[in-house]
Structure 1
Amino acid sequence: MSHSNLLVIGISGVTCGGKTTTASEINKIFPGSKIFSQDDYFWPVNDPRHVWIPELNHINFDILSSLDMEGMYNDVRRYIGSNKTSKTRKHTINYLNGTDCDLRKQCFEKTKDVRIVIVEGFCIFNYRPLTEVFDLKYYFTLDRDECYRRRVQRVYEPPDCPGYFERCAWVEHLKQLEEVQETVENVVYFNEKNKNPVDTILRDILNIL
């Protein structure tokens, strides 16, 4: 870790892969932790920096240029340097269904003096300055058909147009995944067969501490 009392966790990967759910569960386990979500950094829809896909008459939201990544990076760095926590830590342990309670208790006790920062988003590992911040890195993948099944059940604003998944969401994910596999070290990969990635992350937290 860059600081003895700081742990920064990066959670990235495919659309609808479980990034936000996992980040939220980790946040519940450690009440003083802080989440940064990449979804909060999309440029407004009328921003000229967006890439327009003429054949779809739609913005490509699944690329780095659709996001204020410099702003996100600066916010993360500013928070890390502030020595703040998002709220006062409660001396209680939150249990979630399907998780190892003993493991959770060990993590809670061992991290009482550790500030935990969680950064999640579909391409956070594709922005090199941000990648250098993480102590632990996780990447969610899915089978294409499973990803599509989950995606069509979601409602986005603006909504997906016909062909968006095939033309943008899935294609861009494959490019980003390849780049991460080739350039980013020490990434733990999850897929739909991993039933409880939270426990894996908790064990890694114990190991790194």
Structure 2
Amino acid sequence: MAEASASRSNALIIGISGVSSSGKTTLARILRDIFPRTFILHEDDFYKNDTDIPLNQEHNIADWDCLEAINLPQFQQALEYIRQHGMSPPDFVSKEDQNSVGEVDVDKALIEDLQWKASKWMFADAPPIAIIDGFLLYSEGMKAVRDLIDVKLFLRTDYKTAKTRREARSGYVTLEGFWEDPPGYVDKVVWPNYVKDHAFMFKGGDVESEYYEEQLQRLKIRAAPDAALKEMTKRVQWAYDVLEEALNSFTEPRLAP
């Protein structure tokens, strides 16, 4: 059974985290299309202003992939609002939805089947679903945010795949303009930061090795099985099963006499 945070929430908050280019945003958008009354909150929408993004001192370059680049108090306040009201803050506008995720190789028949299955939640006594998409949701430095998430999904990706996908992107809409990764950005910034913030989840601190299962259990993180990471169709099925389990668990107290 999925376990909610200590205080009862008016939304089921689902976190999807992992290294940049691991498929978080793509999966979040597909799940939004499947489940009724679902919306997405992107961690990337809480970046600080472009001029306030910290510099990577070693390479003298803007570091968009570190904790200090995120307006953490604002991000936390948004999640607290969702928990209380079951919707996004009324003044919230997403810039992240302007960024493309490219072509998605997924079985359309499966999506239609899952949409039909999930339609039962439209009129059930179930909460709206808030999907939180972010690359740093479970790091120790994000504990205040991490504790507000009811169900934590994690997508792992190896270095080669992350590098190839990230370098294929054209760039990102920011608060004040547009950012395009300079040459070598994955090796200088993205991957080292990912390792630093997620080593505690893996045996020996090796993010391409086995999970440190005790840590995952302690933080109630559900890591996608390897088969689900290689195929988006299997990843969607896995995530759907976890969300349905969470919805059943969430509604049980409400259905009790």
> TM-score when scaled to structure 1?
0.83
Distance change in 2, residues 1:78/1:166 (3 Å): same
Distance change in 2, residues 1:55/1:28 (3 Å): same
What value does the CA root-mean-square deviation take over the aligned residues? 2.5
- CA positional deviation for 1:110: 3.6
Equivalent residue, structure 1, for 2:205: none
User: Partners of 1:85 and 1:56 in 2: how far apart?
Assistant: 37
State the number of aligned residues: 199
Equivalent residue, structure 1, for 2:153: 138
Equivalent residue, structure 1, for 2:75: 72
CA contact (8 A) 1:56 1:163 kept: no
Offset from partner CA, 1:64-98 (integer Å, 9 cap, x none): 10110211110111122124479xxxxxxxxx715
Equivalent residue, structure 1, for 2:195: 174
Distance change in 2, residues 1:168/1:84 (3 Å): closer
User: Partners of 1:168 and 1:151 in 2: how far apart?
Assistant: 12
Offset from partner CA, 1:37-74 (integer Å, 9 cap, x none): 01111111212xx3312453311111110110211110
Gaps of 5+ in 2: 90-106, 172-177, 203-211, 249-257
- Identity between Structure 1 and Structure 2 (%): 23
Q: What are the within-5 Å matches in structure 2 for residues 1-209 of structure 1?
A: 1-2=4-5, 3=8, 6-47=11-52, 50-84=53-87, 97=108, 99=110, 101-110=112-121, 112=123, 113-126=126-139, 127-156=142-171, 157-181=178-202, 183=215, 185-190=219-224, 192-196=229-233, 197-208=235-246, 209=248
Gaps of 5+ in 1: 87-95
- Name the SS of the counterpart of 1:99 in structure 2: helix
> TM-score when scaled to structure 2?
0.69
Q: Which has the higher helix share?
A: 2
**Counterpart amino acid of residue 173 in structure 1:** Y
- Name the SS of the counterpart of 2:152 in structure 1: strand
Higher relative contact order (CA 8 A, sep 6+): 1
